[in-house]
Amino acid sequence: MVAPLLQNLGHDVHTPTLTDLGERTQLLRCGVDLNTHIEDVTNLLFYEDLLKVCWSVTVMWGWSLRELRQRYQSA
């Protein structure tokens, strides 16, 4: 995984689990979609006060990164 490599280099790494996935499956509800997941990450950025961010995403997130960056920059 990438996270331990970056942490060993001294970087702060956040690996959020998105609503309805992993340990957050109890949050399953109608309407959980890509916008919900973008909101999950946007909230992480806001509440952790992350100002300078380097993105490392999976293929699934590659095409949604644009929307996430737009929301992050406008917050």
Give the per-residue pLDDT at 74: 65
Mean pLDDT, rounded, for 3-7: 92
**Tens digits of residue pLDDT in 10-21:** 999 998 888 877
Mean pLDDT, rounded, for 35-43: 87
**Tens digits of residue pLDDT in 42-64:** 899 899 998 888 877 776 666 67
For the chain, the domains span 2-74
Give the per-residue pLDDT at 63: 63
Which residues 6+ apart lie within 8 Å of 16 measured at CB? 40, 41, 44
